[in-house]
Amino acid sequence: MLMGGPMCESCGRPRPGATEGRFCDRCADARGTLLPWDEVHRRLVEEEFMARNGMGRAQADAAAREALGRMPAWKGRR
Ligand SMILES: [Zn+2]
């Protein structure tokens, strides 16, 4: 995992230069409130694993659940 610098506690994305809040702009609304798990999961599946990594939906879905289950914001949730 990334060393140094703040990271999103929901998805683990680095947040270089971030000084407030615990979540990135993809995981929280404009006020910094964490979005529902379903929404965070869907974005991770579609915008990260499918769009960037080229996974199929089933594989991306499983990978996103696995990834979120390790994050402080979602620990134990899948
Ligand atoms: Zn995030």
pLDDT digits (tens, 9 = 90+) for 12-31: 989 988 888 899 989 999 99
Residue 78 lies in a domain: no
Q: Do you know the residue count of the chain?
A: 78
- CA of 54 from ligand 1 middle (Å) equals 20
First to last CA, the chain: 20
* Predicted confidence (pLDDT) at residue 1 exceeds the cutoff of 70: no
- CA of 50 from ligand 1 middle (Å) equals 16
Query: Distance between CA atoms of 51 and 34, rounded to whole angstroms?
Result: 23
Residue 76 lies in a domain: no
pLDDT digits (tens, 9 = 90+) for 36-45: 999 999 999 9
Residue 28 lies in a domain: yes
User: How many domains does the chain divide into?
Assistant: 1
User: Containing domain of residue 15, as a range?
Assistant: 1-71
- CA of 22 from ligand 1 middle (Å) equals 9
